[in-house]
């Protein structure tokens, strides 16, 4: 402490500044993150546990849960396979136009969710480009389950690929080349060498992909017919209840989604703390 | 021996062949290039590119006058103005508080720091409709915060300010998550050097730290802004959605669709897509700048 007597400009902020900064950061997060989260649970439980349970277990709510799970159960594996194929092609090989391809893969993130829904209506809707031909064959895509699945796939399109591409690029091709030279075939190389190297980043990508798939509202709202019990996902069910001024039920269903978001965040944090090194290339 | 060539032979071949004959693809010993790239392009085409092209085709069915009428009506202009203004303001709020949050998370210790750090990502994980109804409940005139503002004559929910609140929530993680890693990697030597040369803490921050994190701060700002422009779910519950006053640009598309004006919806969609492309281009340039900066430092 005697060293403090030397004339020396301070390298750290004074305690007052420090606590002011911490205070304003925490205040900001409280106002914009914690308070909305608490509101969802408090408003949902306002009518008591019995009403809460009735709201989340009525037939329309259960149908919404089912459709949400179906949409995610199709969208996530599709984008998982795509993510693996895209990252294998991009990270393990050199070819012309690679950067353009990476930009195109990220494109769904920069497009408004409303546009994500709109493009499928314009393609498959009654006045859409393929609409007349589809209705001849009695195939309904938009305002039905297939449209919801397509819109969900679109908005979650880049999640797995963008976690894997930077990581696999950093890992290079030496491990795979060694496996090949020792006689492994292509699939053996992939399953025994590549997959173990990327498993945590893969899980990380799938986790985020699933959270978005289950929570997507805008895109799904455009392609859904908003038919209760048939084309309503959980976020759409929340909207319908809210617009009917049935706030307790709306917040009860919303709290299930908020709980899902919390579980996602907890698993995500655990993955980052335990396996940060094996994911971190993807976080740059 | 024929079936198992030595690695060195193969890699020599991989280097030699492209030089020998001009090729778009560099040869490799690894299998599966054709099928993985083929599937990638097919899937990208079916899910993203063809549907987006369909929007262009639909919009091109309009004459120039009809296109301008659909995309630049007074109602549409008011919606663009609100979307741009609210997204710019929300991104600016996030730039200030996101920078403070990133700074606090990297430099200081306080209780529950890890929980706070994890909480920053909540707007990414929470479905937008859930966030929307929660924010509407908080900022409504009878809500927890709306109640405090009402006696002062401030209305937040169901006015353009509600849009700003929702977009601030949605954009919150972007600035924190782009600035945080750069701040983490910043060497403290330069700060010590600045201090030893007599700089005050504020001078060091302005002249030494700020230039190093500026590209990432601007990238985070641009990402939050881009997200805000297209956001729908969290906004519609708190905005009130009055045409000319609190109607956002994505809502114009919904309105056109509800009137079965598919071509008009496609036209507005094309305008929003063009703006998104421009912002994406800007973000790419910013990131290139950041890399050049990082390389020098």
Question: Rounded to whole angstroms, how far apart are CA atoms B273 and B268?
Answer: 9
pLDDT at B3 exceeding the cut of 70 = no
CB of B267 within 8 A of CB of B274? no
CB contacts, 8 Å: B125 with chain A: 211, 215, 261-262, 264-265, 268
CB B134 within 8 A of CB A39: yes
Burial class (CB in 10 A: 0-12, 13-18, 19+), A42: middle
A103 membership: H or E segment, kind and range: helix A98-110
Q: Give the pLDDT confidence score for residue A117 in this predicted structure.
A: 95
Distance in Å, alpha carbon of A74 to nearest chain B alpha carbon: 14
Q: In terms of pLDDT, which residue wins out, B14 or B117?
A: B117
Strand, coil or helix: what is A141? Answer: coil
Give the tokens for residue B182.
């750069």
Q: Do B122 and A37 touch (CB under 8 A)?
A: yes
Residue position matching structure tokens 């053996």:
A188
Q: What's this model's pTM, rounded to 2 decimal places?
A: 0.89
Q: Distance (Å, rounded) from C-alpha A265 to C-alpha A34?
A: 14
Handedness of CA B290, B107, A283, B169 (dihedral sign): negative
Give, as one character, the DSSP assignment of residue B25. B
Residues 6+ away with beta carbon under 8 Å from A10: B195, B200, B201
CA distance A212 to B123: 11
* DSSP 8-state class, residue A244: T
pLDDT digits (tens, 9 = 90+) for A122-178: 999 888 888 888 888 888 888 899 999 999 999 999 999 999 999 999 888 999 999
Q: Which of A4, A30, A33, A274 should be substituted to probe chain B, the one whose Cβ sees the most B Cβ atoms within 10 Å?
A: A33
Q: Cβ of A8 and B24 within 8 Å?
A: no
Is B228 in contact with B167 (CB distance < 8 Å)? yes
Q: What is the pLDDT of residue A281?
A: 52
Distance CA(A159)–CA(A208), nearest Å, equals: 7
Confidence of residue B294 (pLDDT cuts 50, 70, 90): low
B280 — pLDDT class (breaks 50, 70, 90) = confident
- Across the range B241-268, mean pLDDT stands at 90
Residue A196, C-beta contacts closer than 8 angstroms, at least 6 positions apart: none
Q: What is the arithmetic mean of pLDDT over B227-242?
A: 91
Residues of B with CB below 8 A from A28's CB?
97, 100-101
Which of B92, B99, B126 is most worth mutating to test chain A (most A CB atoms within 10 A of its CB)? Answer: B126
CA distance A271 to chain B (A): 12
State the Cα–Cα distance between residues A218 and A114, nearest whole angstrom: 5
pLDDT above 90: percentage of residues in chain B: 59
SS3 (DSSP) at B194: helix
Q: What are the phi and psi torsion angles at A244 (to 5°)?
A: -90, 10
Both tokens of A124, joined, read 């498959």
Question: What pLDDT does A204 receive?
Answer: 93
Nearest to B101 by CA among A17, A25, A30: A25
Smallest Cβ–Cβ distance between A92 and the set B7, B30, B226 belongs to B30
Distance between CA atoms of residues A212 and B141, nearest Å: 31
Please tell me the distance from the alpha carbon of residue A208 to that of residue A217, in angstroms, as a whole number.
16
Buried b (16+ CB within 10 A) or exposed e, B146-185: beebeeeeebbbbbbbbbbbbbbbbbbbbbbbbbbebbee
Per-residue pLDDT, A135: 85
Q: For chain A, what is the largest distance between any 2 Cα atoms, rounded to a whole number of angstroms?
A: 89
Could you tell me which residue, A1 or B60, shows the higher pLDDT?
B60
Q: What is the mean pLDDT of residues B9-35?
A: 64
DSSP 8-state assignment for residue A74: H
Question: pLDDT confidence of B157, banded at 50, 70, 90?
Answer: confident
Q: What is the mean pLDDT of residues B136-160?
A: 88
> pLDDT digits over A107-136, tens only?
998 899 999 999 999 999 888 888 888 888
Contact residues, chain A, for B168 at CB < 8 Å: 32
The rounded mean pLDDT for chain A is: 90
CA B293/CA A206 separation, integer angstroms: 33
CB pairs < 8 Å spanning A and B: 309
Distance (Å, whole) CA B17 – CA B30: 15
User: What's the average pLDDT block by block, 10 residues per block, for chain A (284 residues)?
Assistant: 46 86 95 94 91 92 94 97 96 91 91 94 88 86 92 96 92 91 91 92 94 94 84 93 93 95 94 82 46
Torsion of CA A67, A69, A70, A72, to 10 degrees: 120
pLDDT tops 70 at residue B206: yes
Which helix or strand (DSSP H or E) is residue B201 part of?
Answer: helix B201-204
Mean pLDDT of B5-14: 45
pLDDT for residue A2: 41
**Chain B interface test: which of A3, A6, A22 (most B C-beta within 10 Å):** A22
Q: What value, to the nearest 5°, has the Cα angle with vertex B269 and ends B266 and B271?
A: 115
Of A224-228, B59-63, B137-141, minimum mean pLDDT range:
A224-228
pLDDT of residue A105: 94
Q: Minimal Cα–Cα distance from B271 to chain A, Å?
A: 11
pLDDT for B120: 95
ipTM: 0.89
The mean pLDDT value of chain B amounts to 87
């Amino acid at each position: 402490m005697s060293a403090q007597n030397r004339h020396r400009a301070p390298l750290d902020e004074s305690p007052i500044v420090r606590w002011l900064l911490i205070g304003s950061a925490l205040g900001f997060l409280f106002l914009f993150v914690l308070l909305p989260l608490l509101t969802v649970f408090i408003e949902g439980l306002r009518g008591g546990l019995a009403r809460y349970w009735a709201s989340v277990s009525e037939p329309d709510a259960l149908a919404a849960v089912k459709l949400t799970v179906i949409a995610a159960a199709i969208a996530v594996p599709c984008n998982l396979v795509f993510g693996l194929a895209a990252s294998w092609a991009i990270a393990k090989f050199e070819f012309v136009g690679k950067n353009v391809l990476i930009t195109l893969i990220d494109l769904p993130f920069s497009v408004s969710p409303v546009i994500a829904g709109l493009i499928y209506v314009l393609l498959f809707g009654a006045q859409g480009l393929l609409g007349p031909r589809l209705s001849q064959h009695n195939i309904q895509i938009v305002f039905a389950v297939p449209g919801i699945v397509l819109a969900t796939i679109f908005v979650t399109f880049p999640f797995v690929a963008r976690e894997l591409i930077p990581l696999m690029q950093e890992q290079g091709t030496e491990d795979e080349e060694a496996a090949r030279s020792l006689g492994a075939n292509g699939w053996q190389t992939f399953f025994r060498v590549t997959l173990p190297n990327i498993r945590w980043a893969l899980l990380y990508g799938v986790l985020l992909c699933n959270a978005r798939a289950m929570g997507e509202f805008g895109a799904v709202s455009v392609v859904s017919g908003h038919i209760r019990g048939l084309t309503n996902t959980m976020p759409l069910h929340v909207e319908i209840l809210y617009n009917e001024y049935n706030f307790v039920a709306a917040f009860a269903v919303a709290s299930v989604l908020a709980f899902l978001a919390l579980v996602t965040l907890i698993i995500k944090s655990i993955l980052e703390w335990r396996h940060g090194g094996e994911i971190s290339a993807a976080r740059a | 021996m024929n079936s198992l060539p030595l690695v060195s032979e193969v890699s020599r071949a991989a280097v030699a062949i492209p030089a020998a004959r001009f090729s778009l693809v560099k040869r490799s010993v690894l299998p599966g290039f054709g099928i993985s790239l083929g599937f990638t392009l097919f899937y990208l085409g079916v899910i993203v590119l063809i549907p987006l092209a369909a929007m262009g085709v639909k919009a091109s069915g309009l004459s120039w006058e009809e296109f301008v009428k659909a995309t630049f009506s007074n109602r549409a202009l008011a919606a663009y103005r609100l979307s741009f203004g609210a997204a710019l303001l929300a991104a600016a709020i996030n730039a200030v508080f996101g920078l403070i949050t990133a700074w606090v998370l990297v430099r200081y210790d306080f209780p529950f720091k890890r929980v706070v750090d994890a909480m920053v990502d909540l707007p990414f994980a929470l479905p937008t409709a859930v966030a929307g109804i929660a924010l509407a409940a908080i900022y409504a005139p009878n809500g927890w915060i709306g109640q405090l503002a009402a006696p002062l004559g401030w209305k937040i929910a169901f006015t353009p300010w509600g849009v700003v609140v929702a977009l601030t929530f949605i954009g919150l993680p972007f600035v924190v998550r782009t600035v945080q890693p750069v701040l983490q990697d910043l060497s403290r030597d330069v700060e010590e050097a600045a201090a030893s040369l007599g700089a005050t803490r504020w001078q060091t921050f302005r002249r030494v730290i700020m230039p190093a994190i500026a590209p990432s701060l601007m990238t985070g700002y641009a990402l939050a802004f881009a997200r805000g422009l297209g956001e729908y779910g969290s906004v519609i519950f708190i905005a009130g959605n009055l045409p000319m006053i609190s109607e956002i640009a994505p809502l114009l598309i919904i309105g056109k669709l509800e009137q079965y004006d598919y071509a008009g919806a496609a036209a507005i969609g094309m305008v929003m897509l063009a703006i998104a492309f421009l912002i994406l281009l800007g973000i790419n340039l910013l990131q290139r700048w950041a890399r050049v900066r990082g390389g020098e430092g």
